[in-house]
Amino acid sequence: MQHGRRVARRDRRGPLARPDAVPAGDRRATTAGPARPLPRRAAGRPRRPSGRRGRRVHRRLSAGCGIIGGVTRRLMLLDTASLYFRAYFGVPDSVRAPDGTPVNAVRGLLDFIARLVQDHRPDALVACMDADWRPQWRVDLIPSYKAHRVAEEHPDGADAEEIPDTLSPQVPVIEDVLDALGIARVGVPDYEADDVIGTFTARATGPVDIVTGDRDLYQLVDDARGVRVLYPIKGVGTLQSTDEAVLREKYGVPGARYADLALLRGDPSDGLPGVPGIGEKTAARLIGAFGDLAGIMAAVDDPHARLTPSQRKRLSEAKPYLAVAPRVVQVAADVPLPEVDTALPAAPRDAAALDALAERWGLGGSLTRLLAALAR
């Protein structure tokens, strides 16, 4: 990474993302506004009208915890840190506020969200945040988890993550702008954004689009439930729509088995060692032959199972790692989410605050384009 570095508290930062595409805290659960528990839509009610009136009706029908109870609406979940890292590396740092402060990540993320709303028209949208980029419960299970990203250890608190020094000041601006817009923003103490996404997905009653540059979330892909991952390939207009067919073609496994593949193969970017000698293709073959990790480990103890001697030896030696790795690799589905209105806002929640932010940070056309996309 060629940019300068500074220490940033982990409770406001997300995992590092690869700079291969352009854009698309505190310890409390964060939301973009006060909770509004709302009634479920009764069976047989007419569909939501189009336009602004339809948005208002939909807002009243949205249930708490961001889940649209009884309504099969499309939910879009943003892996926010993954996206603003990509925006930071994809938009030149010559994009600056009137006082000269770089705002490339802020404006890049706003443009990304505008394009997502314009192209995919979600009914609900949540910006999922990393309240803890390296949860202690994961580190306790696998100490190497994200250890290479730690810039400074704090035994009595959150470790600091090394991130570019001109990105760190932009994160609070991103949060303030999302809040003023009325876009739901959720982070939960002791959990990563992936876990927030996993829980929203588990509770959703309709189709879900997960927007992330992190392949770990492929494990949530589920054609039967309409869950797909929109993975940025190049720019904000080029997203890989990742479904079961894409996963089978690229990795040889369905979404439900992607976590098994990942923990067997390992992932240096997350400090996961994997099983020595078991690469991606071998892991896929083992999953194809034995069904899942449990089936593979049962085969290790079965002398009649069709494993090569080296595979049996390597898997047997890796039993301590394989006993804990699933909990580290699998995203949580039981995060205590706060109640939050996830309905896509047709107009800013706090127009005065948004105007002040736009002037202070020179958000210009990026904010204008997002407001236009939301108003349609």
Calpha distance 156→304 (Å, rounded): 50
Confidence (pLDDT) at 150: 80
Confidence (pLDDT) at 72: 57
What's the Rg (C-alpha) of the chain?
Answer: 21
Residue among 23, 350, 10 nearest 159 (CA): 10
Angle in degrees, 0-180, between the axes of helices 319-329 and 258-265, rounded to the nearest 10: 130
Helix (H, G, I), strand (E, B) or coil at 242: strand
Token reading at 363: 């958000």
Q: Specify the CATH superfamily of domain 255-329.
A: 5' to 3' exonuclease, C-terminal subdomain (1.10.150.20)
Confidence (pLDDT) at 235: 64
Calpha distance 366→23 (Å, rounded): 12
Q: Are 270 and 194 in contact (CB under 8 A)?
A: no
Do 5-251+338-375 and 255-329 have matching folds? no
* Fold assignment, 5-251+338-375: Rossmann fold (3.40.50)
Q: What are phi and psi of 274, to 5 degrees?
A: 70, -170
Q: Provide the pairing of β-strand 208-211 with 124-128.
A: unpaired
150-185 pLDDT, tens digit each: 866 666 666 667 789 999 999 999 999 999 999 999
Question: Which H helix or E strand runs over 233?
Answer: strand 227-234
Q: Provide the pairing of β-strand 150-152 with 5-9.
A: unpaired
Residue among 326, 328, 321, 301 nearest 313 (CA): 301
Confidence (pLDDT) at 148: 84
Calpha distance 127→115 (Å, rounded): 15
Calpha distance 63→40 (Å, rounded): 6
Exposed, middle or buried: residue 278 (CB in 10 Å: 0-12, 13-18, 19+)? buried
Token reading at 106: 């802020």
Confidence (pLDDT) at 162: 73
Confidence (pLDDT) at 36: 33
**In the chain, where are the structural domains located?**
5-251+338-375, 255-329
For 235, which DSSP code? T
Regions of the chain where pLDDT drops below 50: 1-30, 32-71
* C-alpha of 358 from chain center: 26
C-alpha distances in Å from residue 368, one per residue of 113, 184, 239, 343: 12, 19, 23, 20
Calpha distance 286→289 (Å, rounded): 5
Residue among 161, 126, 233 nearest 7 (CA): 161
Q: Are 61 and 40 in contact (CB under 8 A)?
A: yes
Calpha distance 212→80 (Å, rounded): 8
Question: Which H helix or E strand runs over 9?
Answer: strand 5-9
Token reading at 219: 């494990």
Confidence (pLDDT) at 28: 38
